[in-house]
Amino acid sequence: MKLKRVVVTGLGAVTPLGNDVETTWNSLIEGVSGAGPITLFDTEKFKTKFACEVKDFDATAYFDRKEARKLDRYAQFGVIAAKQAVEDSGLDGEGIDKERVGVIFSSGIGGIDTFDQEVGYFFSHPELGPKFNPFFIPKMIGDIAAGHISIIYGFRGPNFGTVSACASSTNGAVTAFDLIRLGKADAIVTGGAEAAITVSGVGGFNSMNALSTRNDSPKTASRPFSASRDGFVMGEGAACMVFEELEHALARGAKIYAEVAGGGASGDAYHLTASHPDGLGAILVMRNALLDANMQPEDIDYINVHGTSTPVGDPSEAKAIKEVFGQHAYNLNISSTKSMTGHMLGAAGAVEALASVLATQNDVVPPTINHAEGDDDPEIDYNLNFTFNKAQKREVRSALSNTFGFGGHNACIIFKKYIK
């Protein structure tokens, strides 16, 4: 069968850099760090006291008080980003067959804040017995953001969330792409949300020594591909895209940001939390995506890398890029927007896909900030263009976005300029 073409017709974002797409994108291009002291809980006894929080967020500005209490913070972010994307796309207009519109919205962890609160209350008040909020379970589960979005708009197409740790929302986007190009849906609202800046979230990652402890300089703590990197900086938020079958989008006069070219998935089969040191899973997933898109390495101009600012992950990804792209690797722009947003875990793939789409549309590559001259790791080839510290203007015909998750889950997606 002939596969259908899929395009991006709507975008939404709630991130540590801004509570909409325009502010987030402008901050990315300007090299703004979203890091600062944690305000969501008391960090006195924690090794890490900072993160990339969403700023100036008041749920009651978006939901009435009763409705807000039914949603964990992660789901609030997800619903708001989805509303932005749906409105941007016009998919909430007249004449839409809602049985042909789906929602695939992901989270790596889900409602961990709700879990902390409910279980914490139970153990601090054992004399009261099991007095749990009736919304405890639906607030906590990782698929519930997709359910809320579907209910709000009456979208009755495929509706679920994917879970593959930090690759969750990329896997969701690739799945949405597949369903549309196979003719099983006309459009899918796809994205990811996370809100794990909590006592157990930060405490758990601290116990693994995964987080930076650069408490004296939070804004410079996320420093991918620098020798002095000491772990990732946790972020939170959500991003959303509307994927749509091309003819369906054209028929209703929708604006088109980019075309979805292909996607890939692979497994490291190596370690619970560490990337394969030789980047074997990363090599495979990028090759799979290029094959799926029927593209050659030379067709890619920009890679938004996983680039978490961890000792093992960064050099292994750089090695993988050199293996897949050969000599063309030195013609690429490479950047880690996690240097600014922090690591948004299950939402990382969605916000980084959004950045990749906007890079192709605007012909500008956001930077990898916080690299100082001389702060070079001997395991990393600095002849590669990591777009350090300043955005670069260039033609971006196509962009590839990498995400790698605990458990060895790898996913990537390719976007290209839309050409009729």
Which of 84, 414, 14, 9 lies closest to 242 in space, CA to CA? 9
Which residues face 368 on adjacent strands?
388
Count the alpha carbons within 13 Å of 278 in the hemisphere toward its beta carbon: 5
Q: Is 52 considered catalytic here?
A: no
Q: Which of 52, 166, 240, 412 is catalytic?
A: 166
Instruction: Provide the 10 A C-beta neighbour count for residue 219.
Output: 17
How far apart (Å, rounded) are the C-alpha atoms in residues 334 and 330?
A: 10
Instruction: Provide the 10 A C-beta neighbour count for residue 328.
Output: 16
Contact predicate 402/304, CB 8 Å: yes
Q: Is 125 considered catalytic here?
A: no
Q: Which of 276, 306, 371, 409 is catalytic?
A: 306
Q: Is 306 considered catalytic here?
A: yes
Which residues face 188 on adjacent strands?
102, 243
Helix (H, G, I), strand (E, B) or coil at 262: strand
Round the CA-based radius of gyration of the chain to a whole number and report it.
Answer: 20
- Strands (E) in 57-179, as ranges, are 101-106, 159-160
Q: Write the DSSP string, 130-168.
A: S---TTHHHHHSTTHHHHHHHHHHT--S-EE---BTBTH
Give the rounded distance of the alpha carbon of 318 from its chain centre: 20
Q: Which of 343, 371, 409, 412 is catalytic?
A: 343
Residue 320 corresponds to which tokens in the numbers above?
């993988």
Question: Which active-site residues does the annotation give?
Answer: 166, 306, 343
